[in-house]
Each structure stands twice: as C-alpha cells, then as structure tokens.
Amino acid sequence: MALLTYKRASTALLFIDPYNDFLSEGGKAWPRVGPIAKEIGLLDNLRAIVTAIRKADIRVVIAPHRRWEPGDYQDWDHPNPTQIGIMSRHSFARGEWGGEWHPDFAPQPGDIVAKEHWAQSGFANTDLDQQLRQHGITHVILVGLLANTCVESTGRYAMELGYHVTLIRDATAAYSKEMMHAAHELNGPTYAHAILSTAELLDAIATVEVAG
C-alpha cells in the first residue's frame, strides 16, 4: 500500500468519546469493551497515536458523547436502544469519574472539544463541522469508541460532508469480534478513504514531521 501523506494544517485527529467509562478499569463499559481493547492493544495504540500527533503539531479534536444527567431521554418520543440503556446505566454521568476524560487523553491547550453529541454521530446537532471548517481541516483520522456505533456514524457523516476519512482499525474497539469485523471489514470500506493500522498511521505521521 502506498504511504498516505497528511498535511499538518489541514489534518485533525478526531478522538471520539475518550471517557473513563470506556477506557479505564472500573468504567461502566470496560467489562464489555476491555477484552477487545486488551487484545488489540487499544490503550497503547491510542497513547502512541496521540503522542505522535502532538509531536507533529497536528490538531487534536475531541468529539464527546453527551454526559448523562438526571432526566435525560426520559420524556423523548424515540430514544434509541443505547439511550434507553444509558438511562439505566448512567454512562458518562456528568460530575462523576466515569464521565471524566481518561487521564492520558484529556484535552490540552489548543485542542478543540466539540459540543457533546446525543446519539452516535459526532456531527449531528453539534458544532463539530463548523469547528473543523473554521480551522481549515479537510482530513480527519478517527480513533476512539465504539467502532461500530459512534466511530462509524461519525466517519460516515464526515464522508457525507466531504471530508477525507481515515479509520484506524486497532485504535477503535467494540464489544465483540463480530462487531469489530463489521466495523472495519464490512462497513468501514463503504465510507473510509483509508483504513490503517496504528503502525501504518505512525509511518505516515513521521512523514508529516519531516515534510513540515
């Protein structure tokens, strides 16, 4: 595969839902996502990517899920299955540890934190598209959780809006191998312009560092 090149000024790492509930031992979703995350080395891959992205002076953009608050979704006409689950689990609860950033992936000065998304797409009913366009971003690199829901929905929406989308297969995770297969082998190729491993992305980012 030919090495992809990314321009520093027009590329962003789009990190979806880097919450303790997803990425930390003791998080509400960790018992379900943990086995896949450990198998693919998710946390180490995310750390390597974030470090390389920051070293290359590529912008980091965080697309966070709605932090649960009492009353969320209860009087909605059509809450989706995930939102119904959140009503009972209180995932990413505002003001609680599970709704805080994983300490290795907390926003840093200069990062963009988009408005919280209520369902799966980081773009729907948020300012993410406006933020990216105002900063001249044309290429987004997707990492985070979950591969077959928020990552896929955000990536597909990005493609529809005209962004170049790169999906990192071992820097996203899901609740099962079947979900991972669907996200990366079946659905990913229908919207992503490139599907890379962490190692392949790091090689491409190294080129950005040299090229400036």
Do 139 and 12 form a contact (C-beta atoms < 8 A)? yes
Q: Residue 207 — pLDDT band, cuts 50, 70, 90?
A: confident
Give every strand in the sheet of 112-113, ordered side by side: 112-113, 59-63, 11-16, 139-145, 164-173, 194-196
Task: Identify whether 1 is part of a domain.
Answer: no
The pTM is what? 0.95
- Find the domain containing 31 and state its range: 8-70+79-211
Residue 2 in any domain: the answer is no
Inside any domain, residue 31? yes
How far apart (Å, rounded) are the C-alpha atoms in residues 103 and 17? Answer: 13
What is the C-alpha to C-alpha distance for residues 20 and 99, in angstroms, rounded to an integer?
A: 6
Q: What is the pLDDT of residues 149-186, one digit of tens each?
A: 999 999 999 999 999 999 999 999 999 999 999 999 99
List pLDDT tens digits, range 33-82. 999 999 999 999 999 999 999 999 999 999 999 999 999 999 999 999 99
Characterize 80-118 residue by residue with b for buried, 16 or more Cβ atoms within 10 angstroms of its Cβ, and e for exposed: eebbeebbeebbbbeeeebbbbbeebeeeeeebbbebbb
Residue 94 belongs to some domain of the structure: yes
Tell whether 102 is covered by a domain.
yes
Rounded percentage of the chain residues whose pLDDT exceeds 70: 97
Number of domains in the chain: 1
Q: What is the mean pLDDT of the chain?
A: 95
On whether residue 196 sits in a domain, the answer given is yes
CATH number, domain of 183, equals 3.40.50.850
Asked if residue 125 is part of any domain, the answer here is: yes
Determine, yes or no, domain membership for 3.
no
In the predicted model, is pLDDT for residue 129 greater than 50?
Answer: yes
